[in-house]
Structure 1
Amino acid sequence: MRTPILYLTLGCMVLASCTIVPGSHMRRGLFMYNDTPPEYVEATTEMDYIPINSTVVANLNIRVSEEPAYSPELEKAVAEYNYKIAAGDVLTITVWEHPELTIPAGSFRSAAESGTEVKADGTIFFPYAGRILVDGLTTAEISAEVRTKLASVIRNPQVDVRVADFRSQRVFLSGAINQPGNLPINNIPLTLVDAIDKLGGLADDADWETIYLTRNGVRQVLSLRDIYEKGELAGNLLLQNNDVIHVPRFDANKIFVLGEVNMPGSLFLSRNGTSLAEALSESRGINEDRADGRGVYVLRNTGIDKDDAGYPVYKAQIFHLNASSAVGFMLADQFPLQPRDVVYVSAAPIARWNRFLSQLLPSIIATDRVGDIENN
């Protein structure tokens, strides 16, 4: 009596194997009769299969230039830099041999408190010179303007103009910086690296490859890694008023290690990059009892394109490594991973068979018990 029941059970399990064998297709419960809603268009996927060998590794690790990139634009901008006065700045105007025209700071007042503040309309008032429009001028230009106006009452006036307090222009820094905040722009040129250093440098969890600089409503992406490690000074921009710098955390710079490893999960990419071998090591290595060393894969999303009809085409690369030999692990150590890569270690055939048996065994035992009950 047991044999027919056992055969019947095995037959049902073979017919339903598409739902119990790992890796098979499963129908979604939300759409009982159709896999996708009728208004959805089936997406197209283009995949490139690339075996990981010495040629591929050499091309992935190639450097465009070994020499630091010289930036004449930055040097010219720094050399020609002149602070422009704006509303809110406080000026100290000194007329030599005419102390009556200069308000002394005194012991209880700083130079900023006793200076001449630029009004909201960009003007200042100075005795015998009257109202002077100084917005957008340098201190040298303001000095010349005051000297010209005083020439009618003072013979050969000697005028010195300095900024006592820089209040009109600032840059703003946020994100993974040790002391996020704002910095005033003054008469000393302020670059991106200078601004970050003045606020304590980058935090430990900063993503130094993706720095966002927003200027006049336009955002651009810069890399501090290129500046610090490669000397690419072109990215070390001279900052301007109201520039907003955001340093994101590297939360998004994750990779995922799945399959037959001892500790599957997600890992953060290090600042200096993470190789395939390092990712496998951080996951406590390949499971020797279940893994197939010939099947180590790296799945990489390379973007979305559109076909002739305008529908999306998802593109991906699948890198395949045979890690069953020492050469394979050497290649894995030279293979650089990118953010959001998925590392998958496939199971050995015997492991897949054992899993199938482990799912089949409870049904066989249950069938055997039913037969015992019927015989009794």
Structure 2
Amino acid sequence: MIRTMITGLACLALTGCGAVYSSSSVPRDAPGVRVLSLTADSVLTANSTPYVPRALPAVFEANAGAGSDLGAPGAVPPAALSRPVRPGPLALDAPPAVRSGSYAIGIGDVLLLATRSDGSTAAELSGLLAAANRRQGYTVRSDGAIAIPDIGRVPVAGLTLEGAEDALFQALVANNIDPTFSLEVAEFNSGRVSVGGAVANPTVVPVALTELTLDAALAGAGGVSTGNLDFALIRIYRDGRLYRIPIADYLSRPALQKTVLIAGDSVFVGEEFDLDRAQAYFSEQIQRAGLQAAQRSQALAELTTEVGLRRAALDETRGNFQDRFALDAVERDYVYLTGEVRMPSRFPLPFGRQATLADALFESGGFESKTANPGQIYVLRAAADSAEPGAVIAWHLDARNAVMFTVATRMQMRPGDVIFVAEQLITRWNRSISQLVPQVIAAGNAAN
């Protein structure tokens, strides 16, 4: 029996009778095929083939709040800053002293950002540098943030100048931009003190970095302008309380002249009997402040609605793309794996970045360690530089030395590449035997 099997096996092997096992290989002498060794130097040549990875749709880069601009608070009715007429008995009731602190940036303030003027900064901070060169500031919008090109919205309302610098520094670093800059408040519009009544020029005086004193506020309004100083007084309305400083006391006591005013104060110069006009003036200031607050609340509500609609639109568009992606309806670039790999398949090249031979090979489970020949790993690529139709370059990676796998991590894949892992000689022999033995047994049985 054994003699019959050996005889049949020899017959099949020598004469080709029956099915003979054959396997794929990369012939080195085939026309149109160039086999090139893949090394640390030649991988640079392999990677020189131009390829731009497919990009994700722009909707994945969009920001729901990008481009939102609340604008400055709307216009309010002009103030009726008028002059009063005559007197009554006077009493001093000065406002309490307030502790000075660092200026807090508020809505309506204009911040001026200055950056370095060297070439590299001009390239990286073009938007910021242009604004600085034009002396163009950034207005604190109704949502408490400033909108800066290439960075986005940076919340600064309620922060000191130092706190705003820290917030801007973090925003620049987060966007990989050189954080070399200086920041200053160019216009103080958030904190104001209104001055009206018997003054030369009724006005609104901004509260700036330094303390605003009563004499400075009156000077900003052109000074007191009343014909009877003996019966004139200064009324200060603050947080629902009305304070009184007679002009005579004001002129004779320097400490009263240096009374510190805070944002939201209203100052009215008039005569004692003219309380009704003072009350009308303060009521008007309160109404104006309420109207501005209502406008800001409305603007914030509109912004919230707008951002919500934008976010919903972005989510819907992204969801549609992901559904098409799941149904394989999105155009992709692929690399194909065959031979002694764990899972012959196609590997989709990723969006927005390069993929390497190691990515494609090991994403699919790698190769079969028992049957694959690590010395025969090939990347088959159409030869774009050849005039011969169908010419192929076979980049050969000999990974019997495990160090050579580092080259696989640098070998970039191109659309249509085929990764082929050849089998070992013993694998080919075993598979040949596994096909031949059943035929030999069948032939032996037939002979008996």
Pick the TM interval, shorter chain: 0.3 to 0.5
Which structure would you say has the larger RCO, counting Cα contacts within 8 Å and 6 or more residues apart?
2
User: Which is greater in Rg?
Assistant: 2
Q: Which has more helix, going by share of residues?
A: 2
Q: Which has more strand, going by share of residues?
A: 1
Question: TM-score, with normalisation over the residues of structure 2?
Answer: 0.34
